[in-house]
Structure 1
Amino acid sequence: MAPVDLSGWTAVQPGSDAEHYLPATPVTVLWGRLPCAADEAVVELASGDVLTVDTLSHEGLLPDQGQDPLAYFAARGVPAHLVLDDAVEVARTCRREPADGPHVVTGPIRVDGARPGDLLRIDVLHLEPRVPYGVISNRHGRGALPGEYPQGPDAVSVFTAVEERDGGLVGVLPLREGGERAARFPLAPFLGIMGVAAAGDERPHSVPPGAFGGNIDVKLLVEGASLLLPVQVDGALAYVGDPHFAQGDGEVALTALEASLRATLRFTVVPAEQARAEWGEVRGPLIVTPELLVPTGLDEDLDEAVKHCVRNAIELLHARFGMDRHHALAYLSAATDFDISQVVDLVKGVHARIRIADFDG
């Protein structure tokens, strides 16, 4: 495929005049692990504050890609000024153990007043692509077809450029190596990792999601969506990472179109009593969009993840609308889609799309 012209693009390098800004530096990120109760916050917010935070994709930084983003992306036609300075610094200076996950995670973020039993609401206000390209990888014999793909001993990473088309941004993925034709698909940026610190003094691995959120990879968390998480430790100690430009439900290769984003987010504490009145007992990540209520289910077994999601959806409908539980199950069967969030993060994810308009009036 002929190279996509990147000459008109500029990178969103570190630095912002936002009132509250969190860059991605060796001091403010963890590589491959998630914050726990023993970690110190790198920024403190009041409930309701808005934070602009830089996130980094791990693609192009990992050891199997040379751990040198300048060289990795130069080999794919990216000029040096379009490689992020913070990506270069993190790859050169941050420590990551071989057993750790791949993700670069920015945080933790302390939100004053958050206590266990509360919910932390994270509103996604704006997501800005920092570069005009991303990478989709299949590695380590994982993904939806372990043992079949990758077809050779090495990881396979597909470079995907971004171009403007019909007033929007699309990913440009070649049909074959060196070919002239490409598939083009719309971008829908979101953060794959959004979470709160786990209780205890051991940092969780960055790959499997849990009740604390983490690597949930639900593509509905685009601009305008909100994530509600049960607070596990005082101050919540929130974090974000694993930025995506696009993902299909399932994320079957292992990663989707991974690429760095600058996120503008609002962090609000929902006190325990108010949380129970509005949402019931929230046992894990709950997503709210202008059109949808989206409970989730998580388990290593996909069948069990579906069961957890159905139970959580029933309880949500009972708490939110006063619906009898057997009527809630009937409604879910007739009117709600249960989608596979991802099958590649050790703990599999399922989410339900409940239409809010069905309950108007």
Structure 2
Amino acid sequence: MAQREVQQVLDVDQYTLGLVGPEQEWAGTVADGGTIRTHTPPACWGPMITPSFRGGHEVTNPIRVEGAAVGDAIALHIRDVEVTSIATSTGSMVEREGAFGDDPFVDHRCPECGTSWPESVVEGTGEDAVRCAECGANASSFGFEYGYTVVFDDDRTVGLTVGPEGADDLANRADEAMALPENSRQHPILLYKPSEMPGTLGHLRPFIGNIGTTPSIELPDSHNAGDFGQFLVGAGHDWGLASEAELEHRTDGHMDINAVREGSILICPVKVDGGGVYVGDMHANQGDGELSLHTTDVSGRATIDVEVVKGLDIDGPLLLPNREDLPHIAQPYSDAEREAGRALAAEYGVDLVEDVGPIQVIGTGATINDATDNAFDRAAHLLDMSEGEIRARCTFTGGVEIGRLPGVVQLTMLAPLDRLDDRGIAHLVRDQYGL
């Protein structure tokens, strides 16, 4: 398919080897108003233990959106998210000394023969199963500090952690159980067969952890964020950055925000012509903060409608979550609340500003405080308000939520719709919340 041939529906089944950026091969071009369909492999653990990867995820090749130019934005309407894996393994990690240079997610090398990003083979199961194809040494950069294996019910509503016998069974049919897409190049993490915490039942609610647009320089896909991106500053590998200022090229696709799920709308900056939408890192569930740094990585299908927003000029993503995912004080006003507000406004002689709608501004940085400051700056630019007014509106009509430690946040507020009309996104807010 020629990358410029415009498709109304574009199916994408090719994935990068851990990188995002202008140099990546385009998957094709989708019409403005068209639909992207993907079946993505798990991210995090699988790519992490596969030493040929240059980043910690396996995301789709970038997708050109018709008419999207630098300075525009692309609204991604996430219509459907479906988990196809029947099980996964996850937990907190330890790094294997000698198996990497500056960064265990990026700078892989065989600890025995020294080959950089070595090809690898699987021999058996367990944490020593991934072997260097050159010399046969254990070539993976990671193991589990505390790990567990989860199996899902048929409807993907709950997950149950299993014991050693169940983990061993799944390890011996790992590719099938994880439903790896045909073109995936990772080793499935089920091979490691961790089995701590057996018998624990968890609620499932799938979402997409790394989704957005292409940064204006090439970055490891897991580091396209203000927190993970810090590890690139001063690094000696091919994707090292000279200063933190170079991180401004990022698009913050790697958010791990559990509200980026079916029914939500994610509005992403365009920093290369065509946008370069990419999708990956689906998770079966995750609590706010992703406190283990990893969660239930799965293969999964997503259906996403795209819409170009001309001239929005944003630096990072905006999120319109499902109504039930909004904080209580950021919910749209009910009719009774509006009536009460009108009465108070009449009594005290002010004009009621009732034409407002919820928005979330995503901020990222080295720490949660840095990420919140980043979100304040982005919100002030978006709404043409002082930081003081942003802080006041977020305190009185919203708040800040932690997407991921150490530094991804959602800054929520009820924003005046006339300001959003000026920026060309009020229609998205009105449609999302029935305003």
Using structure 1 for the length normalisation, give the TM-score. Answer: 0.69
Label 1:355 to 1:157 Cα distance change in 2 as closer, same or farther (>3 A). farther
Aligned to 1:101: 55
Report what 1:154 is aligned to: 143
Report the equivalent of 2:220: 205
Structure 2 CA distance for aligned equivalents of residues 353 and 315 of structure 1: 15
Residues in 1 aligned to 2:30 and 2:392: alpha-carbon distance in whole angstroms: 42
**SS state at 1:31 partner:** coil
How many residue pairs match? The answer is 281
**Aligned residues of 2:81 and 2:206 also touching (Cα < 8 A):** yes
- Partner residue of 1:126 out of 56, 70, 80: 80
Question: Which residue of the partner structure matches residue 173 of structure 1?
Answer: 161
1:244 is aligned with what amino acid?
H
- Contact 2:8 2:34 survives alignment (8 Å): no
- 1:335 equivalent to 2:401? Answer no
Shift of 1:59: 6.1
Are 2:26 and 1:41 aligned? yes
The higher radius of gyration belongs to 2
Q: Is the 8 A contact 2:283 2:297 kept in 1?
A: yes
Determine if contact 1:209/1:298 at 8 Å carries over to the other structure: no
Could you list the runs of 5+ residues in structure 2 that have no partner in the other structure? 1-6, 97-141, 165-193, 226-249, 324-357, 419-429
Deviation at 1:327, TM superposition (A): 4.1
The answer for the alignment partner of 1:289 in structure 2 is 321
Do the aligned partners of 1:337 and 1:354 also contact (CA within 8 Å) in 2?
yes
Matched, 1:298 2:298: no
Native 8 Å contact 2:37 2:304 kept in 1: yes
What aligned pairs does 1:11-90 form with structure 2 within 5 A after superposition?
20-24=9-13, 28-34=14-20, 36-58=21-43, 61-62=46-47, 64=49
Q: Do residues 250 (structure 1) and 265 (structure 2) align?
A: no
| Structure 2 Cα separation of the partners of residues 234 and 63 of structure 1 | 30
The runs of at least 4 aligned residues of structure 1 exceeding 6 Å deviation read 175-180, 356-361
Cα 1:108–1:62 change in 2 (3 A) is closer
Q: Percent identity?
A: 23
In the superposition, relative to structure 1, how do residues 180 and 356 fare at CA in structure 2: closer, same or farther (>3 Å)? Answer: same
Is the Cα–Cα contact under 8 Å of residues 134 and 245 in structure 1 kept in the other structure? no
In structure 2, give the amino acid aligned to 1:30: T
Q: In the TM superposition, what whole-angstrom CA distance separates every residue of 1:247-303 from its partner, at most 9, and x where no partner exists?
A: 11111212111111100011111111xx3xxxxx52211111243421111111332
Matched, 1:239 2:278: yes
8 Å contact from structure 1 (residues 123, 227) kept in 2: yes
Q: Which amino acid aligns with 2:17?
A: W
User: How far apart, in 1, do the equivalents of 2:306 and 2:197 lie?
Assistant: 45
Shift of 1:29: 0.8
Contact 2:148 2:196 (C-alpha < 8 Å) held by counterparts: no
The alignment's C-alpha RMSD in Å is 3.2
Partner amino acid for 2:275?
A: A
Q: Which amino acid aligns with 1:134?
A: T
- Conserved in 1, the CA contact under 8 Å of 2:372 and 2:411? no
Q: What letter matches 1:185 in structure 2? A: G
Query: CA 1:256 to 1:61, structure 2 compared with 1: closer, same or farther past 3 Å?
Result: closer
Write the distance in 1 (CA, Å) between the matches of 2:35 and 2:215. 23
Deviations 1:26-70 (A, max 9, x none): xx2112211x22333112111110121111104674474xx6xxx
Structure (1/2) with the larger strand percentage? 1
Q: Answer yes or no: is 1:136 the counterpart of 2:86.
A: no
2:8–2:31 CA contact under 8 A, matched in 1: no
The reply on whether 1:163 has 2:153 as its aligned counterpart is yes
